[in-house]
Amino acid sequence: MRPQYETLLLEEPIRHVTVVTMNRPQARNAMNTQLMTELRDCFASYYVDQGETRCLVLAGAGDKAFCAGADLKERNGMSDEAWRRQHAIIEQAIRAIMDCPIPIIAAVNGAAYAGGCELALACDFIYAVPEARFAQTEVALGIMPGAMGTQNLPRAIGTRRAKEVILTATPFTAKEAFAWGLVNRLVPADKLMTEVLATAERIAANAPVAVRQAKRAMDKSEDLDRANGYSFEIEAYNRAVGTEDRIEGIRAFNEKRKPDFKGR
C-alpha cells in the first residue's frame, strides 16, 4: 500500500499502470518543497518495491501546465542555506525518477518550464499536447538548470541546440520539441491520457523483468562505449533468461496465445 500524499495523486486506471499526478493546479504544479519531497519519496519507493506496477505515468493536474518549474513564491527571500537544503531535495527527487527501474512516461498537458521541463526529461519519454510549451529559463533568473537539464537536454536534442535553448532562456513549442526529438508524440488534449495509457498498457503487457533490464541497458548506452555497453547488455540479458516469464513467453508463442507474465 502506497502512502497518501498532499501534493500527489496516485491512481491505477489500468491494471499494472500507475499515474502519478502533480496536484497543485492552483500553482500550475510548481515545485515547492512539499511536492519535491513527495516526488522523491514516491519514486524512491518504486526502487525498493515495484509491487504490481509495471509502467508509471507522470502528469500534471489541470489544463494549464505540466509543471511551471520551481515555486518562486516559496523561494522569495529564501536564504542561501535554505535554498541549498531545498535544492538537495530536488536533486534527490530527480535521481529517484531517473533511477526508477519501472518505465516512466511523461504526459505533458501544458507548460513545462525550467524544473518542469527537467522533470519531463527525467522520464523515459514524453507525449505532449500541441499547445504545450517548453523552456529552460533559469539563466534569466540568475541561476542555471540544476535538475539534470544540462545533461538530459543535450542528450535529447543535441548539444548545440541545447546551448541555444538554455543560454537564451527562450521558450519553444511542442511542435519544435517533437521535431528536435524531445517529444515522442503530439496528441490532442482530449486524447492525451488515452494515448499515454494505451502505450503504458502495451509496456505493462510485456515481461516485467525483461522490460526493466532493457531499460537499464539503454540507460547505460549513453554512459559507456559500445563494447562495455554490450557487456552490460549481456549481463542484463542473462538476468532475464532465468525467469519464469522467459519460459512462459516462448510457450505462449508456440501455443498461439497471449502470455501471462508474473514478473518472476
Pairing type for strands 111-113 and 125-128 reads unpaired
Active site residue 52: no
Which residue in 12, 118, 131, 244 is the catalytic one?
Answer: 118
CA atoms within 13 A on the CB side of 5: 23
> CA 117, CA 135: separation in Å to the nearest integer?
7
The helix, strand and coil proportions of the chain, stated in percent and rounded to the nearest 5, come to: 50, 15, 30
Q: Do the beta carbons of residue 22 and residue 37 sit within 8 Å?
A: no
Closest C-alpha among 212, 192, 7 to residue 107: 192
Closest C-alpha among 174, 195, 76, 60 to residue 115: 60
Count the helices and strands in the chain (H runs, E runs).
11, 10
Residue 18 backbone phi and psi in degrees, to 5: -115, 130
Set of cell numbers at residue 86: 531545498
Which residue in 38, 74, 138, 235 is the catalytic one?
Answer: 138
Residue 232 backbone phi and psi in degrees, to 5: -65, -40
Set of cell numbers at residue 19: 499515474
What does each C-alpha distance from 143 to 110, 182, 207, 243 come to in angstroms? 24, 23, 43, 48
Active site residue 138: yes
Residues tagged active-site: 118, 138
